Each structure stands twice: as structure tokens, then as C-alpha cells.
Amino acid sequence: MKKFLGIFSGIATMLTLLASLSQGHGPLDNGDAKFLSYTLAQTIAITPKSPNNSTTQTKPKVADQVKSVNIPANPDARVTVLGYHDFSSTKDATEMLISTGKFRRQMQAIKDLGLNVISLEDFTAWKRGEKTIEDRSVLITIDDGWKSIYTDAFPILKEMGFPFTIFLYTNYINGGSNALTTSMIKEMQKHGCSIGSHSVSHPYPAAVKSERAKGEATFKSYLQKEMGQSRKTLQKQFGSNISCYAYPGGFVTGEMLPIASEQGYECLFTVLPGKTTRSTSNFTIPRYIILGTHDYIFRNATSFKATKTSAATVGAIVQTTPHPVIPEPGSIISTRLPSISVDLSKVENIDADSIIMRVAGFGKVPVQYDPARKIAQWKVSRRLRSRACEVSVQWRSLGNTEYDKAMTWIFLVNREAAYQLK
């Protein structure tokens, strides 16, 4: 049965890749067809044989990871892989840049949720079946090699005692005032930092497609350089075995997989979200790319469904709002009929008649505005049923025809309260 489950996982992986390829992660042609066949073949190969089956297990040819091992005691363990890029305490957040303060709060949330942060070495050993890890584990990864990894993220990770991984593209190391230097990287290595490859030049999809169009031989040589040379350079420069690779931009083509194996890679990481189990294909390990402007991604990444051995974990809501709100962002309330309010006393020249409040499950609600206190409020009219409730509030200034950007936040409802009749 376990063998068939492994095969099924391989088929699921292929379907996932078909979906991603159709969404621009790579054209579906002969190379991708080879990749899909290759992925399924390797999945079948590394599936442990049934104890009732005397057939000799086929050894896969994948980057020295192939060993005949027993499945560890927690075969159902799940790992969420987080992917970050850049950090700043002064710049406005963007998709690729997260505020240092929010990053700190996210790391504290991981600690408060009791999630287990593991190193890249723990992760790969677990994937090989050589190590047992706790369910609901977290692997923290940071791409590219921005200097802010050292100045902003590293102090927080070191303080928390969290191991982490940086995926570096070698052309950017010592690449200017905004790049990590060799000495910075080596210092971080002494404090829980592992290293993976992110190619030589971080090619964007257009560049990869251009090289691919030049023919099979040229494209193979190009991939060998981007994937192979980066690994050799990192190993020589930092003295550690580089066994993992993060696809630049998450762009995957079929030709990359056998070359990755030939070059010695063991695990390859995408930008497609999802939890990782031992049966997840090593060629397409999912990651939640944490964007500085989309708080729900971190919530999804830190949410885990209940299993036979683990309770469910409601993901962390790490948000701030420019004006005080009740219930506060990420807070857990015990009533299903709360009053929702926002303090707009700091907003100048507000057009009170323009205020709009929307609540998940209710849509636009009849908000009441108190001009003396400058508070907009609405009392929930029927019991909230969902675990999380999203609220948005928007307004115009007097004399303006356009609305200001909506202020949005999420609060949580205690699970027990959500099912109690009152």
C-alpha cells in the first residue's frame, strides 16, 4: 500500500507541475514531458518496498541521496518552508521586501505557536529517511543574498535561536553595497546558517527561454553552468556540501531535473505553496514565499490541519493597521457577536458619509460613525461561524472623489466559542 501511495504522490506531483507549467512556469513540450516521466520514475524508485514484497528495490540515481532505509517513526510529519528575500526597517514594504518589525513578529509567532524550526541538514536527512523530525516543522529560507539578511534578519534569527538557509546566486556575492559579503556569510555560518544554490546569474524566465531556443546542446551547457558552476563555487568558497537548489523565480523546465541530479543536487525548491511530506518529490519542494504586502500567506504557511497524532494549528495573523481597531489584528476573541470599530481621530477632513466597512460573510455593513469620538463601529448581527474574520474600512477626504486605500485586518474567533450556543 505504501508503494502505491508513493506512486500516487508522484502522479500528484506531475499534476501539480502540469498546472504550474500551464501558468507560466515553463512551456509544456518534449523537455517537460521527459521531466514528468523522470519525476514519476524517481518517485517509484525511492518508495520503500512493502514488507510483504520480496522484489529487490530499485536504487534511484539522484545525487547520492539514494539509500535503502526504513521510514522514520513519524512518516506523516509535515514541513512548511518559508521563503523570504529582502528586509528593511525604513523602506516601505513591497512584495519582495518585508519590514524588519513584521519579520520579527512573524518569528515570534512561530515560537508562540510551538512550531519546530529545523535546519536544511535536518530537512534533507529527514527526506532521505535518516532522521525523525516533529510534525509541524518549519524551514526558513532566504533568497538572493541581500545585505539586509545580515543586518536585519540575522540578528533576529540568532536571538530566537532559529537555524536558517540562504539560497545564493554567486554573481551577487560581494556584488556591491546592497549585497552580502563573503565575511558576512561566513559569520552567519557559525550561527545556524546553511547555504544552498540559487544559480550563477539568477536568470529570469525570458533569459532561460532564450537559451532554450538555441537548441538542446546549448541549453544543456547553459544549465550545467548555472546549476553546476554555482554549486562548485559555493562549496569552494564556504566549505560546505551544497545539496539544495532554489529555482530562480520558481521557473522550472523539464531539462533541469536530470542535470540537477548529475550536478549533485538532492532537493530543489519551487515558489508554489504547500506543505512538504516525506513523499513530496525532491524535485519540486513547495515554499510559501512570504510577501511584504500580503499577510495571509504567512497565516496559510503556519496553519496545519489536524491529524490522528497532531492537533490543528491556526496560522498566525501578523498585521498592523495605521489606525487603532477593535478587535485588534490577529487577536483571538471569545464572542461570536463582537462590535467591530476603528478609531479615525487621526484622519483629517474625513467625509463621514463616505465611510464603508466590509466584513467577511456579511459584505458591506451599516457602519455607524460617532463624530465626537471619530469612531466608526458596527455590531455583528449574527454569530460568526468562521475561525477567521477579515474586515476592511475605507473612506474619502472632504472634497475628494476618490477613496483612500482600504485598511484591512483579520481577527480570530476562539474555536470552542464558535460552536457554543449562547
Determine which helix (DSSP H) or strand (DSSP E) holds 238, and give its type and residue range: helix 230-238
Rounded to 5, what percent of the chain is helix, strand, coil?
Answer: 35, 20, 45
pLDDT in tens, 96-114: 999 999 999 999 999 989 9
3-class state of residue 357 by DSSP? strand
Asked whether residue 182 carries a pLDDT value surpassing 70, the answer given is yes
What domains appear along the chain, each with residue ranges and CATH number? 76-301 (3.20.20.370), 325-419 (2.60.40.1220)
Return the higher-pLDDT residue of 30 and 283.
Answer: 283
End-to-end CA distance of the chain: 47
Mean pLDDT in residue range 254-278: 96
Q: Judging by beta carbons within 10 Å of its beta carbon (0-12, 13-18, 19+), is residue 247 exposed, middle or buried? A: buried
Strands of 356-359's sheet, edge to edge? Answer: 332-333, 407-413, 388-394, 356-359, 363-365
Determine which helix (DSSP H) or strand (DSSP E) holds 217, and give its type and residue range: helix 216-223
Question: Does the predicted model carry a pTM greater than 0.85?
Answer: no
Q: How far apart are CA 321 and CA 213, in angstroms?
A: 48
Q: Which residues pair with 97 in a beta bridge?
A: 86
The 8 Å CB, 24+ separation contacts for 304-313 are 304/78, 304/80, 304/135, 304/136, 304/275, 307/76, 307/135, 308/76, 309/74, 309/76, 309/135, 310/135, 310/136, 313/113, 313/115, 313/136
pLDDT in tens, 120-171: 999 999 999 999 999 999 999 999 999 999 999 999 999 999 999 999 999 9
Asked whether residue 33 carries a pLDDT value surpassing 60, the answer given is no
Angle at 61 between CA 284 and CA 46, to 5 degrees: 65
Q: How far apart are CA 248 and CA 160, in angstroms?
A: 28
Q: Are 244 and 284 in contact (CB under 8 A)?
A: no
Q: How far apart are CA 336 and CA 383, in angstroms?
A: 5
pLDDT given for residue 26 in this prediction: 37
Mean pLDDT in residue range 272-285: 96
pLDDT given for residue 118 in this prediction: 98
Q: How far apart are CA 158 and CA 165, in angstroms?
A: 13
416: left (phi over 0), alpha (psi -120 to 50) or beta: alpha
Q: How far apart are CA 77 and CA 279, in angstroms?
A: 10
Asked whether residue 60 carries a pLDDT value surpassing 80, the answer given is no
Which residue has 510559501 as its cell numbers?
A: 288
CB neighbour list of residue 63: distance below 8 Å, 6 or more residues apart = 243, 260, 261, 263, 264, 265, 266
Buried-state track 29-56, b at ≥16 Cβ within 10 A, e below 16: eebbeebbebbbebbebbbbeeeeeeee
Beta strands 164-168 and 193-197: pairing type? parallel
Q: Where are the beta strands (DSSP E) in 219-338?
A: 244-246, 267-269, 288-289, 325-326, 332-333
CB neighbour list of residue 188: distance below 8 Å, 6 or more residues apart = 149, 150, 154, 166
* Prior bond of 327 cis (ω within 30°): yes
Asked whether residue 36 carries a pLDDT value surpassing 50, the answer given is no
Percent of the chain surpassing pLDDT 70? 80
Return the higher-pLDDT residue of 79 and 51.
Answer: 79
The cell for 148 is 539586509
3-class state of residue 193 by DSSP? strand
Which residue has 466590509 as its cell numbers?
A: 358
Q: Are 342 and 359 in contact (CB under 8 A)?
A: no
pLDDT given for residue 35 in this prediction: 40
Centroid of chain to Cα 410: 20
Q: How far apart are CA 37 and CA 177, in angstroms?
A: 44
Mean pLDDT in residue range 188-217: 96
Rg (CA), the chain: 24
Q: Judging by beta carbons within 10 Å of its beta carbon (0-12, 13-18, 19+), is residue 308 exposed, middle or buried? A: exposed
How distant, in Å, are the alpha carbons of 17, 26, 29, 222, 298 from that of 33? 10, 11, 6, 20, 33
